[in-house]
Amino acid sequence: MKHWNYIFLLAIFSCGNQQQKVNKTDTLVPSATAVSAEAGTKNNREICWAGTLNGKTPVFIHYQLDSNLIIGEITYLNTKDKVPITLLGTIEEDKTYRLLEFDSTGNITGVIEGKPAGDFFNGDWVSPKTKKELSLSLSLKDTLISSKNFMADAGEIFGDYHYQYGENGFNGDFEINKVKNKEIEFEIQSLTNVERGPNIAEVEKDTISLTGNSFIYTIPESDSCEFKVSFYKGFVYINYTKGYCEGEFGLNATIDGIFLKTK
């Protein structure tokens, strides 16, 4: 643990002292494995922020961008071990960043929404469990964090994926299994929160060919209900390709989103 604390503190030091600007369009990597003040190209740099929640709790965030997908970590600096927490999210159409804190079971412990503006990132942090809301204030820090590739190998994608917003909140499950060669079998089920029904969004078990680390699927007998499934190390991202599938699912239920690999 002392070794990782040393690496983490060195990463923060680099963020605060490097004067090279971060290119936000770079495809970067999620978890820091080594830090060097001299090594690295633009492909090794992550976007790095430091600041506070509610003006009191110090936090450190670093992430990479892959199109509109955000892949990174958040660390609460007032905790004893300063263990990084998985932070995944998307950039919405209005340029708002929506970031989700995941624990190892797929439970979402915090939701961050805000918009970076130059060297500052201001927004809000909300607990899905308690509904507690805190203001978030961050400043941009430059970094040279060298990281592993975030794209999943073909053999790593099979298993179970899950997300859950609090005990009775929105939740979803995605399962994928290998059939033969590049053919896979998958199914998806998501529920709205208990107070809303719950209502169901479901894609029944089906087989399809995998193209690289993703596939596009059209729900049988639908006019335009199509979505893309993209696999990354430790999670899967599902997004509609032709807009929300009107009339296919229960009220407010949806299959799109980020599912963490749990098994």
Q: Could you tell me which residues come within 8 angstroms of residue 246 by beta carbon, excluding any fewer than 6 positions away?
A: none
Q: Are residues 16 and 132 in the same domain?
A: yes
Strand-pair partners of 139: 50, 120
Res 7 pLDDT > 60: no
* 163: three-class secondary structure by DSSP: strand
Cis peptide before 116 (omega within 30 of 0): no
pLDDT tens, position by position, 41-94? 344 468 999 999 999 999 999 999 999 999 999 999 999 999 999 999 999 999
CATH code: domain of residue 22 = 2.40.128.120
Q: Are residues 79 and 207 in the same domain?
A: no
Q: At 147, is the pLDDT very low, low, confident or very high (cuts 50, 70, 90)?
A: low
42 vs 46: CA distance, rounded Å:
9
For the record, the structure tokens of 88 come out as 């995944």
CATH code: domain of residue 198 = 2.40.128
Q: Are residues 8 and 109 in the same domain?
A: yes
Domain count for the chain: 2
Q: Are residues 127 and 192 in the same domain?
A: no
Please state, for a pLDDT cut of 70, what percent of the chain lies above it. Answer: 80
Q: Domain of 243?
A: 154-261
CA distances from 87 to 140, 163, 225 (A): 17, 13, 29
CA distances from 125 to 6, 46, 74 (A): 28, 21, 12
Res 40 pLDDT > 50: no
Out of 103-112, 147-156, 236-245, which region has the weakest mean confidence (pLDDT)?
147-156
Res 148 pLDDT > 70: no
Q: Are residues 141 and 184 in the same domain?
A: no
223 vs 238: CA distance, rounded Å:
19
Q: Are residues 18 and 33 in the same domain?
A: yes
pLDDT the model gives residue 184 = 94
Structural domain ending residue among the three candidates 104, 129, 147: 147
Structural domain ending residue among the three candidates 83, 115, 147: 147
pLDDT tens, position by position, 172-218? 999 999 998 889 999 999 999 877 678 999 999 999 998 888 999 99
Q: At 162, is the pLDDT very low, low, confident or very high (cuts 50, 70, 90)?
A: very high
